[in-house]
Amino acid sequence: MENQEGTQQPHLVLAHKRFLLTHPDVQDIEKVRLKEEVFAMVKSDDMASFYETLVAESVLEMDQSVLDSMRAKIESELKKLDEKIADAEENLGESEVREAHLAKSLFYIQIGDKEKALEQLKVTESKTVAVGQKMDLVFHTLQLGFFYMDFDLISKSIDKAKNLFEEGGDWERKNRLKVYEGLYCMSTRNFKKAANLFLDSISTFTTYELFPYDTFIFYTVLTSIISLDRVSLKQKVVDAPEILTVIGKIPYLSEFLNSLYDCQYKSFFSAFAGLTEQIKLDRYLYPHFRYYMREVRTVVYSQFLESYKSVTIEAMAKAFGVTVEFIDLELSRFIAAGKLHCKIDKVAGVLETNRPDAKNALYQATIKQGDFLLNRIQKLSRVIDL
């Protein structure tokens, strides 16, 4: 369970393979290979309870002899760990007792026993004094949370980590926490906060246990595109040297980002189509696939329409390399949902933009709030008169 710098946490690799096994878009021949790899990983870590879960979900077939063997190994290892704890408590100091309890916590995490791992981590925490070591326990809990996609556990652990940082804590761990929180925000559809946290961590990224640096840049670009304005996108993403060194390794991503910024909409749609497969097959982004697709199209259509007071639907369809019927259907959906500020003149085949005036909107909001305040004061004066 302890990972070296630069290597992804094995259980998160396993979780991703399990996700692909249940994905409808993964080919059957690929699933045969994945099933063998998942079974080998479960077997090597003696993940008995997780094996039973996968069998219940019809992801793997039951092999009773394998399950019995895993249970026997678990029992034997737990006996050894309990003996070490007892020996440390009788003959050694507090740090050795803590290490013995930590070893048991990590073993429960290794075998995928979530409840017992969390209990044992609490016991280990009660034996821990240093803030840094307490933070490491929180990171173990967070990894467990991401393995099971337990967002309640992740949220509570992030809050706990922030409280610990008020007592102290080093910058390296603080920067790591930003990536964990960013991943949590992205997984719960808070793309704007995720983008800000990821961008803050670009130059200090060391969280290789969650995902490789290439994947981190992939998430950073995707979340930034639908969260940042044009100027911020240019400064923080398009021209960022850390992103430029990696973006070329990720298929379609460079074209996706640069064609949006350079207003090359036909190239943008082409790259977007290539990226959809990667987004679909990502464990954290898949639940938000349709939402993300809508948000990206809102951004690109808004950017195109920003330059015009009116434009023909045919010209817009040509710019995006799609049919007039497609763009007409797309825009009518976005306009009805209040995502785009324009109207379609179907007879003339023209789009007329009606961007809201910021000053006028502020004036209307002030009038509305003023009326509300006057009503409240009148009601209050009646109560006082009584």
Residue pair 108/101 in contact (Cβ under 8 Å)? The answer is: no
Closest residue by Cα to residue 119 from 104, 134, 132:
104
pTM for the whole thing? 0.84
Q: Residue 310 pLDDT more than 60? A: yes
pLDDT at residue 142, as a whole number: 93
Give the three-state DSSP class for 312: strand
Kindly report the backbone phi and psi dihedral angles of residue 142, in degrees, each rounded to the nearest multiple of 5, phi listed first: -65, -40
Q: Which amino acid is at 164?
A: L
Residue whose token pair is 């951004």: 299
Residue whose token pair is 């946290």: 197
Q: Which two tokens stand for residue 81?
A: 């760990």
* Confidence label for 358 from pLDDT (cuts 50, 70 and 90): low
pLDDT at residue 331, as a whole number: 87
Q: In this predicted model, which residue has the larger pLDDT, 349 or 66? A: 66
Q: Residue 382 pLDDT more than 80? A: no
- Reported as a single tens digit per residue, the pLDDT across 327-344 is 888 888 888 888 888 888
pLDDT at residue 1, as a whole number: 37
Residue 366's contacts (CB-CB under 8 Å, 6 or more residues apart) are: none
Q: Which two tokens stand for residue 175?
A: 């920067």
Within 13 Å, how many C-alpha atoms sit on residue 70's CB side? 24
Give the three-state DSSP class for 139: helix
Residue pair 108/117 in contact (Cβ under 8 Å)? The answer is: yes
* d(C-alpha 195, C-alpha 179), whole Å: 10
Paired strand residues for 312: 350
Paired strand residues for 342: 353
Residue pair 104/119 in contact (Cβ under 8 Å)? The answer is: no
* Confidence label for 4 from pLDDT (cuts 50, 70 and 90): very low
Closest residue by Cα to residue 340 from 308, 363, 381, 385:
308
Neighbours of 140 (CB within 10 A): 23
Range of lowest pLDDT (60-69, 160-169, 174-183): 160-169
Residue pair 169/132 in contact (Cβ under 8 Å)? The answer is: yes
- Reported as a single tens digit per residue, the pLDDT across 195-241 is 999 999 998 888 899 999 999 999 999 999 999 888 899 999 998 89
Q: Residue 67 pLDDT more than 50? A: yes
* d(C-alpha 42, C-alpha 60), whole Å: 11
pLDDT at residue 48, as a whole number: 86
pLDDT at residue 383, as a whole number: 77
* d(C-alpha 230, C-alpha 303), whole Å: 9
Residue 356's contacts (CB-CB under 8 Å, 6 or more residues apart) are: 341
Hey, which bits of the chain come out as E strands? 310-312, 342-345, 350-353
Mean pLDDT for the chain overall: 87
